[in-house]
Amino acid sequence: MSFRGGDSFLVRRPFKRALGLSYNAGPLRFPKAPSRERSTPMITSAQNPRIKRALRLRSSRGRRQQQRMILDGVREIRRAFRSGVAFVELFVCDELCHADARALVGELSSAGFQGTPVTESVFRKLAYGERGEGLVAVAPMPPVDLGRLRMPPNALVAVLERIEKPGNVGAVLRSADAAGVQALLLADGGTDLYHPNTIRASLGAVFSVPVASAPNAQVRAWLDEQGFTLLAARVEAAHCYTDVVYRGRVAVVLGSEAHGLSDFWKGPEITPIRLPMRGVVDSLNVSVAASVIFFEACRQRTAVSGRVPSDAIDRSPPLR
């Protein structure tokens, strides 16, 4: 018996005779055993260059330099993936993965995104805060320019001016997604749309709600060109938020709890609205105020049409 090429072996004549084969039957070949898929080497050190590059994405400077973002958690990564985000890294700690995480790893693997295993100590260094779901991903930051937005005729848009806390922006995005808001615009900066806190507080809604960021003047010019009615939330406003009409293209402009809106968002063509305050406090957190206004707009639009607009229906699994 001899081996050739490592993929089969030949049966010599004496063995052919024993098997009842003629000499001219040709070599008897046995099928090659299926090759095993090479596993990705595990990363065991936090000093690994890929881990160090990913860790730099925790800072705004690192995100600007690499034009990438870092994502923690099953819901956030799943919603990014299903919104078309293409990952460049997927770090997996098998010891920490629960059933949902393993299912997502399988879904990503089927789509061609192969995870890289890391040890638990490396993952703890890589993960944000106490997030221990076993998955961290890295992806290019989606574009945030106004020119790419395409709005329907009855679009409801949120504008946030100089909101500094990324958690507040994320919470507004979560409410915007729930109420069927078609886009969220950051005016005059304030924070990073792809800050880990924004992504986390939004539960991944930052990938389902179209977003853009631009200076006040550009945002206002875009809203005017697109024919939006402007409503500005102000503590001192004369109109209650329930007294205005939210039909057609409407933009709701909100400022920070500490400073409110700047005078840039004042003028005869802008309607100021307020939430009535019955207690001793004179303002609400911007995410709470936004939620109240968004759902009033949703209520009015549903009452007029008799149904919830199809683009406002949440078909994703319930948020927990």
Q: How many CB atoms lie within 10 A of CB 35?
A: 6
25 in any annotated domain: no
Residue 61 confidence (pLDDT): 95
Establish if 86 belongs to a structural domain: yes
The single-letter DSSP state of residue 67 is: T
In a domain, 238, yes or no: yes
Same domain, 199 and 65: no
Buried/exposed code over 160-173 (b: 16+ C-beta within 10 A; e: otherwise) = bbbbebbbbbbbbb
Q: What local confidence, expressed as pLDDT, does residue 178 receive? A: 97
**Which CATH number fits the domain that encloses residue 76?**
3.30.1330.30
Provide the CATH number for the domain around residue 225. Answer: 3.40.1280.10
152 and 282 inside one domain: yes
69 in any annotated domain? yes
Query: Is 123 contained in some domain?
Result: yes
pTM of the entire structure? 0.81
Which structural domain range is residue 129 located in?
49-140
Tokens describing residue 291: 């939620």
Residue 24 lies in a domain: no
pLDDT of residue 305: 59
In 3D space, the residue among 200, 78, 174, 72 whose CA is nearest the CA of residue 124 turns out to be: 72
Contact 294, 303 (CB under 8 A): no
Are both 60 and 209 inside the same structural domain?
no
Which of 116, 140, 164 marks a domain boundary? 140
Is 160 in the same domain as 302?
Answer: yes
pLDDT in tens, the chain (320 residues): 443 444 433 344 443 444 444 444 444 443 444 433 456 899 999 999 999 999 999 999 999 999 999 999 999 999 999 999 999 999 999 999 999 999 999 999 999 999 999 999 999 999 987 777 999 999 999 999 999 999 999 999 999 999 999 999 999 999 999 999 999 999 998 788 999 999 999 999 999 999 999 999 999 999 999 999 999 999 999 999 999 999 999 999 999 888 889 999 999 999 999 999 989 887 899 999 999 999 999 999 998 655 544 444 343 444 33
Residues 225 and 84 grouped into a single domain: no
Q: What is the DSSP letter of 202?
A: H
Domain boundary (140, 164, 185) is at 140
Specify whether 249 is located in the same domain as 298.
yes
Alpha-carbon gap, residue 279 to 135, rounded angstroms: 44
In a domain, 243, yes or no: yes
Q: Are residues 84 and 162 in the same domain?
A: no
Q: Are 293 and 253 in contact (CB under 8 A)?
A: no
Residues 183 and 128 occupy one common structural domain? no
Number of domains in the chain: 2
Are 77 and 194 found together in one domain?
no
Which tokens go with 178?
Answer: 């729930």
Q: What is the pLDDT of residue 258?
A: 82
pLDDT of residue 13: 44
